[in-house]
Amino acid sequence: MRKRRLPLETVLWSIIGMALYRQKSVWDIATQMDIMLPDKKPLVAPSALVQARQRLGADAVKEVFKAVAQHGYETNSFEQWAGLNLFAVDGVVWRAADTLENHQVFETQSNQHRENTYPQIRMVCHMELTSHLLCYNLIRLGMTAAAKKLDSVWPNQLSFTSCSMAITQFFATLPLTSPGNIPKHYESLLEQMSYFKLPPRREDRTYPRWVKPKPRKYPHKKNKLASP
């Protein structure tokens, strides 16, 4: 019986890694996360990762996202106002594959120089303020757990940038950690994120809006008045 070096559960971790390390290739992410099963060869071909993602499919990722979002919604208390949950509208633009079908359905941006090769998909989401995409949910769950260790601190009072960097580093070093030490390192992560509390906002501080002049490439010359 054939034993694959990239089971579906490890491929799913590579999908999460793609969101955490967007500047890296899929092959580099799989190598850094060390998700491949041991074999005579230390690495797998990049084409194997593509085939593994095709085997996994989009439905499995959707189900994991729904499970994580549902678990976070049921086990955490979210920001409310007047007894109501807070929601927001968020938009995103994706580049679709360069196929004839996508060109017929989605628009392609262009300017005076050239036309964009890839069709673009615009999506508007109605979402709860403390939930987002799959990795966003993981970061928010960690921030919520860290905030619970503090007195009268909401998760949004912690620095999202600092917490996301700490959680990203936690996942990067996770393959080097023995399973028995993972809970201890997780508690250390929560303690570290508790130091990322933002200072209170000054109520008397205002930022008036003003229009900045557009910078010019060359100095502006005033028109000389014609002599009488």
* Token code pair at residue 192: 């570290």
pTM above 0.85, yes or no: no
pLDDT value of residue 1: 47
Mean pLDDT of 68-80: 76
* Token code pair at residue 156: 């949004």
Distance, CA of 148 to chain centre: 23
Residue 186's H or E segment, with its range, is helix 182-193
* Cα separations in angstroms, 77 against 69, 83, 152, 175: 13, 12, 13, 31
Residue 92's H or E segment, with its range, is strand 87-95
**76-128 pLDDT tens trace:** 766 677 888 777 787 878 778 788 888 888 877 666 666 667 788 888 877 77
* Token code pair at residue 218: 């060359």
- Is the pLDDT at 61 greater than 70? The verdict is yes
pLDDT value of residue 93: 81
**152-198 pLDDT tens trace:** 888 888 988 899 889 888 888 887 778 888 888 899 999 998 888 88
In this structure, what DSSP letter does residue 153 have?
-
Inter-residue contact 128 to 73 (CB < 8 Å): yes
